[in-house]
Structure 1
Amino acid sequence: MEISPSEIAEDPNPVVGLSGEATMTLGTINHSVKADSMMKTMEFLVIDRPASYNAIIGTPWLNSMQAVPSTYHMCLKFPTPRGIKTIWGDRRFSRSRVAEALEGKRKPTCEHVVSVCLDEAFTDRCVEIGANLSESLKFELIACLKKNLNTFAWATEDMPGIDINITCHELNVDPTVKPIKQRDESWDPSALAQSTTKSRNLSKSDPYRKLGILTGSLTQSL
């Protein structure tokens, strides 16, 4: 939406999605929303993430507009000085936007990060933070990490007193059952030689063709 960073009031807060993933907001911004002849100024949370919508209008705007939405009819009705107005949704457009959003999610995006050393005495004690953070937020974040440096476990010696049941792994088997040794497979020399010869011939004639390998008495495709 080409919003200038100077218009954003810095107030980072976590926003949790349906998947449980938390995203930090950049802050808030007051933006005008026009519906027909009605104009309302609303506060929006600003998030620097790919999304299928430019803005999501919630309950505060609906209440201020005295609007009544209907998801079944895909419309929104609200009173104006010139009577009741209706905004209709476009089902085909909505589906195309959802498809574009899903297509974008299939392409993973990697956020630029920078490495920050938290302990000058140990240069390997580093963490990565977002490179696009504002200078003030970056300064506060680094100060908080350095202040709580002892919270991090940099080595196994930093984690004393852990229950042995957590650090020790075992096979989930019944100890009362007697183990059985698997018998050796009996290979037929003639069948093995025939399969090897056939595979070599196929490889020479068409090296891009998928070959089969003999496993026991079955032949499976690579």
Structure 2
Amino acid sequence: MVRIHPSILSADFVNLERDLERIASADGVHLDVMDAHFVPNLTFGLPMVQRIAEVTSLPIDVHLMIDDPDTWALQYAIDGVDSVTFHAEATRDAVALARELRARGARAAIALKPGTAVDDVLEHLREFDMVLVMTVEPGFGGQSFMPEMMPKLQELRGRADELGIELALQVDGGITADTLPIAAAAGADVFVAGSAVYGHADPAERTHALRLAAAPQPGSLDR
């Protein structure tokens, strides 16, 4: 099932509740938590996530781009948060953290920067509900999609199919109606889009257009 998760990084923070309402037809809302250490940008933290959870009925997809998620990630497993994603490059024990998140009722997800191989994640794939393959360098919106990340998606999807497990594969970075079908053909089924949604007058219409773009295209890659 295709899921579209607009990123509020491209929303109007002064009118955030309004902009959340404008994506009510989406499948979730993506919250990028950045600490200006793991990535060279600073966004917001737990108080903002808690407040958003109070004003939206959308499932919340938290993406932690922070140092030491082993210490901080569990705080984000709150009511209204569907999944918590932490980075493979930042954690000391990805499996232990994933198990703790699941124990607290959140879906556990692990993210990979473009330069990070999938090997360690493949070895422990049953421990995760979702893998996020970054299709840009994390930290800033508006970057160009990196098609060279598609083999990662294919490898992850192939391994999940071999194991017979349900695994969400998310892509984040440069997702548009043109690039989304490329990622979908490689195995992705959850798509984070910022400017492709909020950069238009009607975010709901753009969300619908992105969902339609995920339909199989002639000549697409076999999964």
Q: TM-score range by the shorter chain?
A: under 0.3
Question: 1 or 2, which has the higher strand percentage?
Answer: 1
TM-score, length-scaled by structure 1 = 0.20
TM-score, length-scaled by structure 2 = 0.19
Q: Of the two structures, which has the highest relative contact order with CA contacts closer than 8 Å and spacing of 6 or more?
A: 2
